Structures are given as C-alpha cells and as structure tokens.
Structure 1
C-alpha cells in the first residue's frame, strides 16, 4: 500500500464548534489564507504589515504605534509580553480567578519574577478595591490580568484598574485572548500598557497569530531593556546577564525592529497567518466594534435564556459572565461526557468540557466570532435538548427554543 493510500488528502468532517474556542473560522478569513505567498520584504508585503498595524489599532481601540502580530498562538503573545517586560526579581501581582491566571503565574516564574497572587473562587471576579489593596501591600512592578477566562467563563472588569496602576506606578497587562471582540476593551481609555490576544475566538479566525499592542510606556521599557542587553553583549559583560531577555524569538524589542520602518530581519513572517489576521480585523471594523460586541451580547443572552428555559443552571456570577461563553451546570445523574459525545457524533456539534475544580461539573458553550449567529444558537439548543431527553433528563419540549426566540423578538422590536 502506498503512502498516499495510507495518508489520504486531509478532509476533516464538518463540525459546528460551539465550545470555548476555537470556533469555525469565517469563510472570508479562510479565503484570505489561501492567497499565494509573497516575499517578506516585497513592498506589497510590508504594505500589508502596515495595514495590519493600523487595523488592529482600531480593534484594540488605541493609538499605540506598536500594535503588531506575534507569530504563534495566543500563548505566544502572552509569553512575548511577559518575557520582554519582566526583569529577574521583579515583583508581579496576578489576580487569579481561573486557569489562565495560573498560566500567567507560571510564565512569570519562568522569567524569574517574584510572583504574588490573590485568588477568588472559580465563578467570581475581583473588585477594584481588592486589587488596589493587594497593589498597596505587594508594591509590584507589573499587574498581570486575564480579562476573560474561558475556564470559568468570567469577565474581569478592567475599567478602573488603569487609574489604580498609574497611582501606584505599576505597568498594566491583560490577556484578552478569549474576550477581545466579544466584550468591550478600550486599551487607551482604560490605561492598558500591554494587551495580547488570539484569532480563534471572537475574532473569527484560526489559532496561529497573536495581535499585541504596547503603550508608549511599555514600548519604552522594552526598548530600554533591549539597549541594555545590546550593551551587555557588545561589552561581553557577564555580570549583566540578569538584564538579558532569555528568548530570542519572543523578544519584543527585536520584533518591534522587524515591524518598524527599518524592517530588521528577525524571522520569516508567517504570511498566511498575517493574511488571516488582516482579514479578521478588516471584517470586525467593517461591522463596527460596537456592533460586533452587541452581536455577541445578543446571542450570548439568547443562549443563556435557552439553557435556563430547559431547566439547566448557569455557572458562576452571571453579572460578570463573558458575552461569548457560558458555563452550564451538568445536572445530577447526567453523564456529561456522554452528552458531549452524542452531540458530536449525531449532530456534529462540539461543546466544551472543563478542568481543574470544575472538571465534570460544567459544560462550556460558546457563541463567538463567526458562530455568534441565531442559527448556531438555535441548532445547539435543539440538539442539546434532544440529547438530554434521550439521557433521561426531562425538559419541557420546545421551552429552550421559545426562550431564545423571545430574546431575538425583543431585540427586533423598535
């Protein structure tokens, strides 16, 4: 048997991805990705890079010059910011309300930071006063936050934290991978010094490129550290090793040189992913950031209403839930994984499981990006209701659909 018979052409089955991400990419993004490659220093390519920077300023709602892409998944963007900003021995404060706060802690520790945490139970978020009290006590150089943590489906309010950080001389970073595009984020107005994200959730693209934006203050810190590092290398000064950025690939100073007017060689740009990221941002700004956030809020409300309509409970503090993903408490005597398996095999619909303290306790259902649509919500509710009834969990037939339709009807009324 030939290798071509052993390994036929990739032809993945159709799935409706209604979990916490990734989601189905917008067909326009897939078409952009299929464009032919061009050289990284072709004037057309460098023009596309400039367009990407301008487009993502609109997405992040910022005037930051240094708004660009880090090649890699959303975790690449997180790591690039942290390894470039954190110096060994820096105190950092991480408010942990889910799995991805723990991720920030892990990366910061690998940067040899002195990591301090505050924690709330999964399903809750922090008040600004709680965070300011911790800043007063710890006196960190950086505050590292997650805006939307898909492990708990919660959205941490950030609006007041920038002013708090400025009062205490703290640099302010947030991971907006799960939240950007589906929930408000105002990088400049909220005083954010660095934000990183990914394409595979509300932005409607595939995983593989991480948009980031850096305030002038953060860019200055990174550039200054870069100058120190270059001085250390040129002088072969071993005592200065603690100032050096340990990663070459994720060194944002070098990436800034690559994206800046000098276009200094750092890596070969992931051209197809740049095309995808450009199209994601173009589509979002064409729809309008306020409109796209309102769309996510509408379909998120309809999904919540439908879930409650079939007698299920929503996990956590609904007032602080992300628009684009929700946790559903798995009823007693219902086998959560069996439900997911039947949804996938019989309806080709994927919903998410959970982990950590929520493993086996909740499903996570997303309504985001290209899948933040009425038909996706209604298909998922109808299929889930049918599977639950087959498993022996009785619902009032059609109640979920009626509750979701009521949300849509109310929105349609003048």
Structure 2
C-alpha cells in the first residue's frame, strides 16, 4: 500500500487496435487538462451550447435537442430507452450480435415487451424483415445497433428509418461504435433517437454519450413528465406505469439542464465536456464525409493486408463496418497467446470476441485517432511476426505490401 502512495499511475505505452477504446487524439487530452469553471458560469454554459451545435454537425441533424449525457455510451443507451419506453410498450430489436442482445435486455428492464429478429451473426436485418415484424407486433419502437463490434457488421438504415417513420413507429439507434467512421444521416434517415460514445471513431475517452432526439422523440419524452423536484410535467398522468424509473437518466430532466432554464440536475462532468467538444470540433474540421472516407481507406488497407497473409475475414464483407475487421484465428495457433505476444512484445492490443465467436475470430480496429497508415502497417507487420513465431507459414512481407497498395 505504501508504494501506491508514493507513485502516480503511469499507463504503459499501447497502440489500441482492438474494437475500442482507442488512443485519444492528443488534442482531446489537452482540452481535458484545462481548469474547471462553475457549472453555471457563463463560460461553462457557452461551452455547453457550443457543444450542442457541434454535435448537430456530427449527427447530421437539425435537432435542437442534441447534447451530452454524462455517462459511458451504455448510459446513453439506457437514458434513451428508459425515457422513451413505458412498461408494456412493444419493441422490435434486430439481433445480429452482442449489442442487439444488450438493447433487448435494457428494453426488458424497462418493462417493455420485446420481440427480437434473431439473425445469423455476420448478417444484418433487411427492411422487409423489419416491416413484417412491425405488421405482426405493432411496436412503439424499433431499436437497432448500427455497428455491432462483436460481429463487425454495419446495419444499413437508409431504407429502414423512413419506413418506420411512415408507419408511425419510433426508431432508436445505438451508433456507439459507428458514428464518425461510417455514414450516418439522422435527419435524412428519419431516426428518432441516436446515442453514441467518444471512445471509438470520435477519438476520445469513454465517459460522454452524445445524443440527438427528434421532435417525435421529444414529444414522447415530454408525455412522461411528472411533478418532481419542482418541475411540472407538460402532460401529467396519474398512471404509475408511465413514471420513469431513473432519476439520473431521465432525459426530460437532463434537457431542462441543457436548455435555456438551466435547471440543476447534476454537476456537469466538466473535463469530459471539454473533451467531447474537442472530439466534435476535430471531426468537423476534417469534415464528416472525409473522416468516414479515412476510416474506410484504413479499414480496407487492414483487410487487404490480412487477406495477403492468407487469413480469412469474418462475415458478409459488403456489410462490414469501416472501422473494425473480423478475422478468423488460424487453427494452428492459440489466439489468446498471439494476442498476449502482440501486447507484450509489440505494445499493440487487438481484440477477441464474444459468445459463439469467442476464440474464433480476432477483431482489429482502425478507428478515430488510430485510423491512420502508420498504425495499420505497424499492426500488420507485428501480427505477421507473431504468427511466424507460432509456426504459421506466411508470405513474408505480403501484408504490408498489399496494405500499401491500397493507400497508393
């Protein structure tokens, strides 16, 4: 114990090339080092207002209610779900990986009646499947994951969002792992509510959950307001079933905090706000479409290099996320041992997977600050050496050469 008191924690140098978190952009770390101000200081409220405007650009939306939930990305998911759902509401959840299962669990904890579309992992839902589920179950909400890092698949939304809107069904999308690295158009795709996190393609740390809410979602949230803590509901109801079960994740109260009234709900996580603002500023400075293109190029280069080693990629490649590649672990090697060697000998982290894919595939990410040529080439070269050391015969140097051809 005495040793801990005399030494600060110094994290080892790592290149985080797994499915997230990733290395922070140094500009984000610098922003987070700035001194605190009071939560109602004019400079602070100005920073909050500016952050809202910046994230409208990130989400490609005009939604006034675009702000930050002080939590990890999972807290943003929970805030959206508990604020939109009443016990007994029907929800359709396409499940093609671990995070679809998470949406199912959270919706069930809200008391919703959940109907899943259980898809083969490595595939995505088709619009006609969701349309059929809507006709069958008449749900209030369709809850989707855009990019499920457990399978590396990216769910297309361009047809599903407008279809749900036309059918009078709300949509929620978890874009934690995809926003900034894959095309996302909140308004054009008519998505009712979207949440994300900083620790993937936005080049920041975990701890802030950007969220955007359409007017339809805001109307639904406002129906659930009650007279609590001096806040009068816009549409009060005596039905106990509509009372929100969370205080911290009550979006109606959080909106009062971020809105013009600035009603106190919690103490804003000031350093995280600075970081979240800088994440959005950096992305918009590069240009959202340019950032997506950068993620695609680096993801394609990584995939090409892995194929050049003779490895097999996982899943339907036409639906793969730009920022995470799944690759089958060769039968001749121990996947965990290779990951350990990558970490200990080369300082590079790559990921395993979950459930039926645990020990079957590695997941290698190219996202945020790490979606760059040097990181991809370093990872490919190091993985090649680890596989050679474990007795796998590979065409030496082919991975890096093939990746370079993508860049050229």
CA-CA distance at 1:65 after TM superposition: 0.4
Q: Is the 8 A contact 2:226 2:237 kept in 1?
A: no
Instruction: Measure the CA separation in 1 of the matches of 2:326 and 2:310.
Output: 14
Shift in alpha-carbon separation, 1:47–1:368, aligned structure 2, 3 A: same
CA-CA distance at 1:167 after TM superposition: 2.5
Q: Is the 8 A contact 1:229 1:243 kept in 2?
A: no
1:283 matched to which residue of 2?
A: 282
CA-CA distance at 1:258 after TM superposition: 0.3
Shift in alpha-carbon separation, 1:50–1:239, aligned structure 2, 3 A: closer
- 1:246 partnered with 2:211: no
Shift in alpha-carbon separation, 1:155–1:238, aligned structure 2, 3 A: closer
Instruction: Measure the CA separation in 1 of the matches of 2:286 and 2:166.
Output: 36
1:36 matched to which residue of 2?
A: 35
Instruction: Measure the CA separation in 2 of the matches of 1:28 and 1:233.
Output: 41
Equivalent runs, 1:131-170 vs 2, <5 Å:
131-170=130-169
Instruction: Measure the CA separation in 2 of the matches of 1:146 and 1:402.
Output: 34
Give the count of matched residue pairs. Answer: 406
2:8 matched to which residue of 1?
A: 9
Instruction: Measure the CA separation in 1 of the matches of 2:100 and 2:10.
Output: 36
Shift in alpha-carbon separation, 1:231–1:7, aligned structure 2, 3 A: closer
Q: Is the 8 A contact 1:205 1:280 kept in 2?
A: yes
CA-CA distance at 1:130 after TM superposition: 1.1
Q: Secondary structure at the match of 1:195?
A: strand
2:128 matched to which residue of 1?
A: 129
1:328 matched to which residue of 2?
A: 327
1:389 matched to which residue of 2?
A: 388
Q: Is the 8 A contact 2:226 2:232 kept in 1?
A: no
1:264 matched to which residue of 2?
A: 263
Greater helix share, structure number: 1
1:98 matched to which residue of 2?
A: 97
Instruction: Measure the CA separation in 2 of the matches of 1:325 and 1:305.
Output: 13
- TM-score normalised per structure 2: 0.97
Q: Is the 8 A contact 1:23 1:371 kept in 2?
A: yes
2:366 matched to which residue of 1?
A: 367
Q: Secondary structure at the match of 1:225?
A: coil
1:349 matched to which residue of 2?
A: 348
Instruction: Measure the CA separation in 2 of the matches of 1:231 and 1:137.
Output: 42
2:310 matched to which residue of 1?
A: 311
1:173 matched to which residue of 2?
A: 172
Q: Secondary structure at the match of 2:394?
A: coil
1:113 matched to which residue of 2?
A: 112
Runs of 4+ residues over 6 Å off in structure 1: 228-234
Unaligned runs of 5+ in 1: 410-414
Q: Is the 8 A contact 1:229 1:244 kept in 2?
A: no
2:88 matched to which residue of 1?
A: 89
Q: Secondary structure at the match of 2:144?
A: strand
Instruction: Measure the CA separation in 1 of the matches of 2:261 and 2:2.
Output: 46
Q: Is the 8 A contact 1:196 1:211 kept in 2?
A: yes
Q: Is the 8 A contact 1:229 1:245 kept in 2?
A: no
CA-CA distance at 1:4 after TM superposition: 5.0
Instruction: Measure the CA separation in 1 of the matches of 2:61 and 2:316.
Output: 30
Q: Deviations over 1:183-212 (max 9, x none)?
A: 000000000000000000000000000000
- TM-score normalised per structure 1: 0.96
1:204 matched to which residue of 2?
A: 203
1:412 matched to which residue of 2?
A: none
Q: Is the 8 A contact 2:299 2:366 kept in 1?
A: yes
Equivalent runs, 1:54-93 vs 2, <5 Å:
54-93=53-92
Q: Deviations over 1:153-183 (max 9, x none)?
A: 0000000112211222100110000000000
Q: Secondary structure at the match of 2:225?
A: helix
Q: CA RMSD in A?
A: 1.7
Instruction: Measure the CA separation in 1 of the matches of 2:231 and 2:54.
Output: 36
Instruction: Measure the CA separation in 1 of the matches of 2:293 and 2:232.
Output: 50
CA-CA distance at 1:126 after TM superposition: 1.1
Instruction: Measure the CA separation in 2 of the matches of 1:8 and 1:131.
Output: 55
Instruction: Measure the CA separation in 2 of the matches of 1:288 and 1:110.
Output: 38
Unaligned runs of 5+ in 2: none
Instruction: Measure the CA separation in 2 of the matches of 1:91 and 1:288.
Output: 38
Instruction: Measure the CA separation in 2 of the matches of 1:149 and 1:166.
Output: 23
